[in-house]
Every structure is written in structure tokens, then in C-alpha cells.
Chain A
Amino acid sequence: GIQVEQSPPDLILQEGANSTLRCNFSDSVNNLQWFHQNPWGQLINLFYIPSGTKQNGRLSATTVATERYSLLYISSSQTTDSGVYFCAVIDSNYQLIWGAGTKLIIKP
């Protein structure tokens, strides 16, 4: 089955810093999503991005499907950005296959 790897596993930054989170996947995909799981456990949809580039405020994402990776950029980090960021892809059985997540801590 498809394997999804995320890096780095942990990231600690000062408020105002920029960061790049990476997601590699082992096979071609038609669907890739980035989620933010906040400290209360809620999974928040960030991007649905099987290919190309999208931006939403301070966040942007790029997926290069032919090279099997996606990047999530966070600029001017805020403490509310803290949490776990997950990348997930849909396999041919319609199941979301999840990476292990990147735990981000933004210090004030």
C-alpha cells in the first residue's frame, strides 16, 4: 500500500519565524490533504491539493505529484499555529492514508 512520510517529526520555533513541512508518498495519488490538529484534538482542513500550489493567508502548499511530495509553508508563525500537522492521501480503496505528523510548537 501507499506509504506516507512526514518530516521533520518535531519543530520548535519562535513566534514570527517561517517553516516548511514536507510530505513524501510512495505512489501516485489523486488526492492529498493537509490538516492541522489543534491542541484540543480538532482536525482542521488546510488544503486539498493533489497537485499545484495553493495559498490561504500565511499558509501555502505545493504538491509535485510527479515527484511524489508535498510541502506546507507557514510564514510569520503565531502561537495559535501550534499543534500537529498531518498529510494524508487517498488510496484506491478510498481510505485516507496518514503520515505520522509534524508536531509544531511556536514559542512566544
Chain B
Amino acid sequence: GAGVSQTPSNKVTEKGKYVELRCDPISGHTALYWYRQSLGQGPEFLIYFQGTGAADDSGLPNDRFFAVRPEGSVSTLKIQRTERGDSAVYLCASSARLAVAYNEQFFGPGTRLTVL
């Protein structure tokens, strides 16, 4: 596709369950980012990948959160033992390359996660 896509668009789960959120970046983009946005706030950085490796996962809030990008394209954000505080919109972005000066990031539509 032409832009970043994310699935599902909405996910409702119960406290304690496991969820997976998928991101399909713009074709050819080597860098992929995950952010989380709570209502009324700007996005909060979680993790980014350069190729298959997680270059910086310092934004992941705890070890219940994990992300993979096994073939350097699609990425999956995994959340174990979900808590109500995990409810938010999870945004994925990609950029053509990682260099600071050439790093325009393009965002997907997000996955709205609700933990009951």
C-alpha cells in the first residue's frame, strides 16, 4: 500500500489477556517506530527498529511490552498480561532511513486498545 497500515483498528480485551498489534510500514522504509498516545496528549515514544533489530527500546514501559520485526518489514507489538492503564492508541510510523537529518516519519492510523 501507499501508506503505513495498522491492524486491527480497534481492539477490546480483558485485563490479563495477551494482545498483538501489527504494523505494515511504507514499502522500502528501513526505520520503523512505535508510539503510544493517551487522550489529550502527544504521542509517547516506545521503540524503534532499524531493519530487523530494535535500535532503541528505552520507551517500553515494562517487560510486559515487546516488539519484533523479524524480516525487516512488518512489525508486531506484543503486550502480555494487559492492564487497564495500557488503554491508548498505539501508533506506528516509518521513515526512509534513520539518519537524523533525513528522518521524516509517516504515521499509520493507529490501533485503539481498550482493556476492560
Contacts and interface: CB of A to CB of B under 8 A. Distances in A.
A94 B55 contact: yes
A73 interface: no
A96 B105 CA distance: 9
Contacts of B42: 86, 88, 98-101
A42 B6 CA distance: 12
Interface string B37-65: 00001110100100000011011000000
Contact of A42 (B41, B45, B93, B109): B109
A93 interface: yes
Given A42-B109, A43-B91, A96 B104 contact: no
A54 to B, nearest CB: 12
Interface of B: 31, 33, 35, 41-43, 45, 48, 55-56, 58-59, 89, 91, 93, 98, 100-107, 109-110, 112
